[in-house]
A and B are shown apart, each in its own frame.
Chain A
């Protein structure tokens, strides 16, 4: 629908249209707060609100320990996830 006036034209006209190419593909999404998502992109909008399916969420936690810092990762699985756009740092196709 982004391109109604030019039917045969390239569907990518603006940066965000690159996200469109990843629709229904697996994407890697980096979020604020040391979180990363990996899942199938079902939908997005101009605010980078995303709907992801079969998501693996990775949370990086830095725990202070006696000997120094220890980075722990926490993984979560979600069947479907709505991501509010204001926390999205980057979206990258995953292959």
Chain B
């Protein structure tokens, strides 16, 4: 007999014990592990095998009076509490005489001695307090091994666990299932008994009644307390509905009367043990089984909802199930086990943090979020916020306007919260939506509220950076990471007034001045672009006055910035008659970053400004670095330096397209005016030998031709007729100017020129396409006489190019086609085709 789960039986007793095993033993799921498969089915895990025997070496000398104190070796539940009142002292003494042997034998072979004892004691002494012990016979095991069933698990973990390693939930379940099948009959004995009793009673589901639970403080019967709680609930229906006519009722009533303690299940079982009941519960299998199974649901585990059948606590029930049912049940069980394991894994750290802890962390995070995004000190959409969080702001704009119709780009706290909690929200939403659809929402809502509150609190902070406490002499200055407390308060000098002074007189050409101009222009340009991003939604009829006013403010600001940009461009600087240095705008254009700014600037200029800019460029065409530095050498042999070529490339890619798009929509008189300026102020014979110069001329001439063709069918007005005659005159002038240099307008061979014809042609292909375009533009508008002269001028080049292209091997077919196509551009313009050349 031991409290600590040691097997106190001696090896010699173990033989008997194994033969006298009861259902409880069978029920032990853990035992199955230690058991050899299909071997000795009665043998549980052999304790002796795992026990190192140290306990035997203990000094047992001090326990001489143990028997006196604890009532001998008999089960604890059998100790004679009321020895003084025990008038059946004879029996007790006789029992004592039997000594430990009796106790153990009684424990192992309970059925034989039991009937005599119970009948005798209970009926002989009316004042006898029934010993509501758990009789070992019911369990068929020595009581001493029971305390380890402490968990009171449904599955009846018993003593044998002491010698075993801990098992995971899955292992236990798997073993349970494995064990449930082979030995169901023995295992279900207990169950059958209970079921039989209920069957006989015809009692409906036994509701669990907490009051009926026995107080756990009963010291004489700790073992009972430690027993499976399901048994404590099971008898309750009997107690609640005492049915006198039932034979069981008698003992129950009796027990209830005599016992000062609440009736214990074991004791009832013990009393129910007499033969008549035994018979009944043997008969049980013939009785209808179905009714009692329903009630059992209350006793069982709460199972997953998908298994519709009655919950199963005993293997016997499983046996009664049909195969598919069992199959489903097994699958369900497995799923449940898996889920339980997962829950276990997930909940490993559950409860580590208190709600206060979580709140605290959340608050820290929110605070950081607010600080990281510039927070509330900055107006939404303001410069500061944009500077703090530029990429997010731009991204938000790209993604679309805010959902609500408020005028501002940023909608303050709520949008902020939504944005930054978006991911968190979705995560919780996903994870919980299956089981608690509203849980996630609530969480996000809570977070949003918290953010809103945090923002409010931050706003409530004093806005000004100083606080003057009344009555005090000093001031308290606030500082944070964004705006550190100023230690020095220096008045910023009026930088504009100071800086302007030295710059003005030094109007001489200076590279640094140009660079400064460019930086200034970029500064204004970026401000303008920033401002453009802040475009408020267009006001409509319902707009509030504030919105309209804001829009007006935005427009006036835009206008101001535009004016500043225009000034920064220096286009309107006076053109000197005899310039010692290029015009400032032309200087800006002489840097690649200046060129790159043009398409960005061009968007913001109105038509008049564009025309002015174009005019300025046209007037100073020969001063542009891309023309000035691009004149080919006299002998047409040395290629342009790579730096110049690069600049030309940038110019044609950055500056030409906006100019071209403007010219493409310009009326004829503007073209005439521009071309006239070119003719008057620029050395055309020079610029026509440069790529940019040719491109500008092509641009103007081709636009004029297009306008002319579009207007052809209509009846020309006097104004138009005047324009046309003017244009014709201008064209003739241009033709006469260009004609002498026609043989030289083709660019020199590029730097990569080699003797290999293929590579030469290839690299030249992109080099002289603009020349062919120019020739084509000229050819379209030319009179037959002029066409003749045109062909004569470039005849050599045409023949050479066509010949070289046709000599190309088939592998270079692509280059060949392109070359011929370029020549054809011109040939077709004058009504010819390369094919005609044979």
Contact = CB atoms under 8 A, between A and B. Distances in A.
Q: Are A and B part of the same complex?
A: yes
Interface of A: 1-4, 6-13, 20-25, 95
B592 A8 contact: no
A1 B525 CA distance: 11
Contacts of A25: 515, 591, 593
A12 to B, nearest CB: 6
Given A23-B593, A24-B591, A95-B511, A7 B527 contact: yes
Interface stretch (B416-424, B516-524, B571-579): B516-524
A21 B588 CA distance: 12
Given A21-B512, A21-B515, A25-B515, 12 more contacts: A1-B523, A1-B526, A4-B383, A6-B495, A7-B564, A8-B568, A9-B495, A12-B516, A20-B519, A24-B591, A24-B596, A25-B593
Contact of B495 (A10, A22, A24): A10
A16 B568 CA distance: 22
Interface string B584-598: 000000011100100
B85 to A, nearest CB: 97
B561 interface: yes
Q: Looking at B383, B520, B568, which has the most chain A CB atoms within 10 Å of its CB?
A: B520
A8 B503 contact: no
B527 A4 contact: yes
Contacts of B515: 21-22, 25
B751 interface: no
A9 B500 CA distance: 8
20 contacts: A1-B387, A2-B523, A4-B383, A6-B495, A6-B496, A7-B523, A7-B524, A7-B561, A7-B564, A9-B499, A10-B495, A10-B503, A10-B516, A12-B519, A13-B495, A21-B515, A23-B519, A24-B592, A24-B596, A25-B591
A71 B518 CA distance: 41
Contact of A8 (B519, B526, B567): B567
Contacts of A7: 523-524, 527, 561, 564
Nearest to B527: A7
Contacts of B512: 21
A60 to B, nearest CB: 26
Contacts of B516: 10-12, 21
A20 B495 CA distance: 18
Interface residues of B, number: 27
Nearest to A20: B519
Contact of B564 (A1, A4, A8, A22): A8
A25 B519 CA distance: 12
B523 A3 contact: yes
Interface in B584-641: 591-593, 596
A25 B518 CA distance: 12
A10 to B, nearest CB: 4
Contact of B496 (A1, A4, A8): A8
A24 B593 contact: yes
Interface in B379-436: 383, 387
Q: Looking at B496, B512, B522, B523, which has the most chain A CB atoms within 10 Å of its CB?
A: B523
Contacts of B568: 8
A15 to B, nearest CB: 14
A22 to B, nearest CB: 7
Contact of B524 (A2, A8, A23, A24): A8
B201 to A, nearest CB: 89
A19 to B, nearest CB: 11
A61 B234 CA distance: 97
B131 to A, nearest CB: 90
A50 B519 CA distance: 18
A9 B493 CA distance: 12
Nearest to A3: B523
A23 to B, nearest CB: 7
A2 B515 CA distance: 16
Q: Looking at A2, A13, A20, which has the most chain B CB atoms within 10 Å of its CB?
A: A20
B558 to A, nearest CB: 13
Contacts of A8: 496, 520, 524, 564, 567-568
